[in-house]
Amino acid sequence: MQERDCIFCKIVRGEIPSKKVYEDDQVYAFHDINPVAPVHVLIIPKKHIFGIQHLEPEDECLVGHMFTVAREIAQELGVAPDEELNGGYRLVFNVGKDAGQTVFHLHLHLIGGRSMGWPPG
C-alpha cells in the first residue's frame, strides 16, 4: 500500500471525512469508525509509516509524541484514571495480521469508557 492509496493518508489529507479529535504538525487523531468502546480514538502520524515493524530510529520522538497526545486526549475525553487509578483506558498497537492489524499506516488505539478484560481476545 503506497501513500497515495492509503486510507489514513487520505484522512490526513482530508480526502476521506473523519471526526477529528486533535491535530498538530506531526499527528492527527480521530474517532474510530467502528468503535469497540464508548471512547475509541486513533492517533496516527501524519507521515506514512506502515506500522511498528517499519519504524526507523528517527521515528522514536514521533512515537513518544503519539503517547503524550493519547494521554492528553484521554484526559480531555474523561477516561483518564483518577489518583487511585480507578477508571482508565487502553493503548494498543496491533502489529501484523494475527494481532488484528487491518490498516497498514501506524495507528495507536485509545480505547476507554468501559472496563476491559485481560488477556485480550
Taking the C-alpha atoms of residue 54 and residue 3, their distance in angstroms, rounded to an integer, is 14
Pseudo-torsion of CA 35, 41, 43, 44, nearest 10°? Answer: 30
Say whether residue 37 binds ligand AMP (CB under 6 A): no
Which residue is nearest to Zn ion, using beta carbons? 6
**CB 91 to Zn ion: min, Å:** 20
> What is the Cβ-side half-sphere exposure of residue 2, based on CA atoms within 13 angstroms?
1
Query: Which residues, in sequence order, are bridge partners of residue 112?
Result: 39, 89
User: Is 107 among the catalytic positions?
Assistant: yes
Mark residues 17-36: x for contact with ligand AMP by CB under 6 A, - for none.
Answer: -x-------------xxx--
Taking the C-alpha atoms of residue 25 and residue 11, their distance in angstroms, rounded to an integer, is 15
Cell numbers placing 113: 469508557
Q: List the single partner that 73 binds among ligand AMP, Zn ion, none, CB under 5 to 8 Å by kind.
A: none
**CB 11 to ligand AMP: min, Å:** 6
Q: Which of 58, 83, 84, 102 binds ligand AMP (CB under 6 A)?
A: 102
Q: Which residues bind ligand AMP (CB under 6 A)?
A: 7, 16, 18, 32-34, 42, 94, 100-103
